[in-house]
Amino acid sequence: MARCVRLGAFLLGWGLACAAGAGPEERPPRAAVVSAHPLASAAGEELLRAGGNAFDAAVAVSATLAVVEPYASGLGGGGFWLLHRAADGRQVMLDGRETAPAAARPELFHAADGTPSPELSRDGGTAVAVPGVPAALLYLAKHYGRLPLARSLAPAVRHARAGFPVTPRYRRLVQYRLELLRADPAAAGIFLEQGEIPPAGHLIVQEELAATLERLGAEGRAGFYAGEVARRLVRAVRAAGGVWELKDLDDYRVVERAPVVFEYQGVRVISAPPPSSGGVVLAETLKILERFSLPGSGPARVHLVVEAMRRAYRDRAWWLGDPDFTKIPMQRLLSGAHSARLARDISLSEATPSTKLPAPKRIPEPESADTTHFSILDEAGNRVAATLSINLPFGAGLMAAGTGVLLNDEMDDFAFGFRDPNAYGLVGGQSNVVAGGRRPLSSMTPTFLETPERIALLGTPGGSRIISMVLLAILDFTAGAEPQSWVTLPRYHHQYLPDILQFELGALPAGEQRALRAMGHQLQEKKRRYGNMQAILWDRLGNRVAAASDPRGEGEARIFSVGPCQPAPVH
Ligand code: DON
């Protein structure tokens, strides 16, 4: 705690000094923008060079990703923006998660025979929750940015009109949702070429999306949540079997939430609170691990990390959901007594079957998916780590004609019972059941790490595996590694149910796999590598900024200087 107070004092003091000193620097020597797409990273740099701060740049990057990564996030989706304002040290998470329409209820997702039907929460009108991204961009610009919203949206508008070139990743993700896109004339007209996957280099032009972005910039809330755009959105969702009303859009609000904050081995971790499960699962896992002496590598390390994950993900399934609807025992879950209890039955030599932890079993296979993360640090020290989503690639595969807005299928993140996992194999109960106005539980985990010397900003897409990826990066940061290592690290994962230790292609050497099997772990090597982490390190002692984009993706890290000693943000 004492350190946090001291750190706060450093941050508050930055305005007084800009020259290099002997201790940890109070302002970064350079700015950094790292995102999953080069055009979005460039948009962030453009805004910082135009006099914007990290929050204006975050609006520009979010909006540009909505254009150039239509499979990952967009105006029709939601997200979490973790913010640090240098002027006063304020740290907050902007919750722009989608909400269920008022008429939503579990039976909406049942087939005629009364059994849950996964398609109903993944494809078409019932899958679509009310989007939060447009409201969040408005809020960011108004309360944290320095520039008008329309200025920050300008790069996105430009790219929507001029078009962006199809990449191998785009082709792979279209393939995954091809039938769905073919079935929707508005979406097919833009994202396909005569009903087929467009060739690499083909330009995707989105005139209508450009107009919707301009409308949002000019009219604010009324440009999306009311009027012509809102009417078209509701019409499209209802025509596809959904239950939206205009009032659902009118009712949508972003929420500022206090992040989950805890210490792990001298590192202050600031991460996403409910309705994301990220911060709580990270805190529980790391608090369990702190009770063991964790080897630096080898099967004994993987075993311990997996046993900790298993227990934390079980609590996720049992307790977590939208905090405005379900009572989450946060204090207890984050307490030392709870982690001591969870750690007590971990054997150093044997896997605990998840079924031995009280709860039912099921072994589904998580599917491929998409979502996006970006991180921004400006030279005043403002920070944004944001993870945004429309859930599965191309969301519900539904575009509201005339708006260019591709709609999410985030309703699948609600729990359909312990026997019916969602697309990521996640199970859950009452704490995350569908209800009108409620936000589905997320795994998106934008995170800051702080020591007096080093500050990190990171996050990644990857469904249920987001949290374990961020966890492995935190362990790597704690061991002193750099962003290139955090984003490149081989990854492994356990989420309680299914009771499987998954790992990336090639992540665990054969000997390690044998040792883990001998301990009773059921192993599964994935066919692909997964994740798309975007990370920044500000080394305050070394007075340098480093950033890295996951080699598994097509992203880009930019580090640059706009000029020293910029004036403080006005808000
Ligand atoms: O909010 C969530 O947890 C999911 N909708 C995120 C989906 C995702 O990361 C898919 N990415 N590969």
Both tokens of 430, joined, read 């009452």
CB 81 within 8 A of CB 88: no
Active site residue 371: yes
- Amino acid 420: pLDDT: 80
Active-site position among 64, 99, 326, 371:
371
**Three-class secondary structure assignment of 32-95:** EEEECCHHHHHHHHHHHHCCCCHHHHHHHHHHHHHHHCCCCCCCCCEEEEEEEECCCCEEEEEE
Q: How far apart are CA 435 and CA 105, in angstroms?
A: 5
Residue 408 burial class via C-beta count within 10 angstroms: exposed 0-12, middle 13-18, buried 19 and up: buried
User: How many Å lie between the centroid of ligand 1 and the Cα of residue 49?
Assistant: 32
Per residue of the chain (571 residues), what is the pLDDT tens digit?
A: 222 222 333 333 333 334 444 678 799 999 999 999 999 999 999 999 999 999 999 999 999 999 999 999 999 999 999 999 999 999 999 999 999 999 999 999 999 888 889 899 998 999 999 999 999 999 999 999 999 999 999 999 999 999 999 999 999 999 999 999 999 999 999 999 999 999 999 999 999 999 999 999 999 999 999 999 999 999 999 999 999 999 999 999 999 999 999 999 999 999 999 999 999 999 999 999 999 999 999 999 999 999 999 999 999 999 999 999 999 999 999 999 999 999 999 999 999 999 898 654 343 344 456 899 999 999 999 999 999 999 999 999 999 999 999 999 999 999 987 778 888 888 888 899 999 999 999 999 999 999 999 999 999 999 999 999 999 999 999 999 999 999 999 999 999 999 999 999 999 999 999 999 999 999 999 999 999 999 999 999 999 999 999 999 999 999 999 975 454 444 4
β partners of residue 447: 458
- Amino acid 370: pLDDT: 80
CB 436 within 8 A of CB 450: no
- Amino acid 16: pLDDT: 33
Both tokens of 517, joined, read 């099997």
| Helices 299-319 and 466-478: angle between axes, nearest 10 degrees | 130
User: How many Å lie between the centroid of ligand 1 and the Cα of residue 389?
Assistant: 6
Closest Cα to atom 8 of ligand 1: 463
Q: How far apart are CA 87 and CA 383, in angstroms?
A: 11
User: How many Å lie between the centroid of ligand 1 and the Cα of residue 442?
Assistant: 7
- Amino acid 94: pLDDT: 98
- Whether omega before 461 lies within 30 degrees of 0, making that bond cis, reads no
Sorted by sequence, the CB contacts under 8 Å of residue 470 that are 6+ apart come out as 271, 278, 282, 445, 447, 458, 459, 460
Say yes or no: CB of residue 391 within 6 Å of ligand 1. Answer: yes
The radius of gyration of the chain from alpha carbons, rounded to an integer in Å, stands at 22
| Helices 336-344 and 299-319: angle between axes, nearest 10 degrees | 120
In CATH, the architecture of 260-367+446-547 is: Orthogonal Bundle (1.10)
Residue type, 549: S
Closest Cα to atom 1 of ligand 1: 442
Say yes or no: CB of residue 326 within 6 Å of ligand 1. Answer: no
Say yes or no: CB of residue 389 within 6 Å of ligand 1. Answer: yes
- Whether omega before 275 lies within 30 degrees of 0, making that bond cis, reads yes
Residue type, 394: F
Please calculate the CA angle 453-458-464 and round it to the nearest 5 degrees.
Answer: 140
* pTM for this model (two decimals): 0.93
Q: How far apart are CA 394 and CA 390, in angstroms?
A: 7
CB 456 within 8 A of CB 536: yes
User: How many Å lie between the centroid of ligand 1 and the Cα of residue 371?
Assistant: 6
CB 424 within 8 A of CB 433: no
Q: How far apart are CA 68 and CA 71, in angstroms?
A: 9
* Strand bridging mode 501-503 / 523-525: parallel
CB 413 within 8 A of CB 442: yes
Count CB atoms within 10 A of the CB of residue 88. Answer: 12
